[in-house]
Structure 1
Amino acid sequence: EGTMVGGHPAILTVMIDKDARIAALTIETDPKARLYLRKKAFMLGLQAKSRYGEDGWTCSEAKPGADKQEVGGVFVDEKCTKTTDGRTVEIERHLYREPNKELKDMTDESRITIRRAGS
């Protein structure tokens, strides 16, 4: 099924700086993966947060609204950032559905970006 990170189908993107050094790595859950493989995609962000420690995160969370609704009683729309060990880590987690879409077309994803500090 392709590249897996933490048990989740994922797309990896490496960003190279002008000195040909890795400046950042982005890990995104694969939105084209089969539903049974991506139905817990929002959980990958939690795995990443625990990898970098629970303390020191700056997070913002959105609330359900007319354009974003819960899925099975759960709603996640979160962005967290932390700088540690010369890296800035940004984690976005989303689990919601738009009211005019079918449940199978829900938004369920994690995006993790790890940047070298100063990049």
Structure 2
Amino acid sequence: MKEKAEGKVEIIDFNYETVNAAIAFCYDQNISQFLDKNFPTNAFSLLQFAGKYFINDLQETIENFLAKSVSPLNIVEITNTAIKKYSTKLENYCFNHFLIFFKQEIPVENMDLLDKEFAEKLQEELGQ
């Protein structure tokens, strides 16, 4: 392996800020400022990084952060990202929140953009 021989790894598919935040997390530094800045894009990027490099505790932290941030305004975007990034935990969290929003008749923005298979599961659960 080239990386082992040279003692370095080149990460080309993530921006500097994402890599820096991931490294900071690994050294127990606070990354909340990074997550809050440019929300939810930075969180999505870090979730993808954690998944690609198998940093499970970072993935769990980002999933929890996004779960706490779910609202009727952003749940569709967070759900679609959870599906794309294979974040089953976050996807299930969003599913349950959709049920709550629908049962309480809280309008959800951008429903037309929701993943079609996910939307079908929701309709089945709601009996529609």
TM-score class normalised by the smaller sequence? under 0.3
TM-score by length of 1: 0.26
Larger Rg: 2
Q: Is the strand fraction higher in 1 or 2?
A: 1
TM-score of the two chains, using structure 2 as the length reference: 0.25
Which structure shows the bigger proportion of residues in helix conformation?
Answer: 2
Report 1 or 2 for greater relative contact order, CA contacts < 8 Å, sequence distance ≥ 6. 1
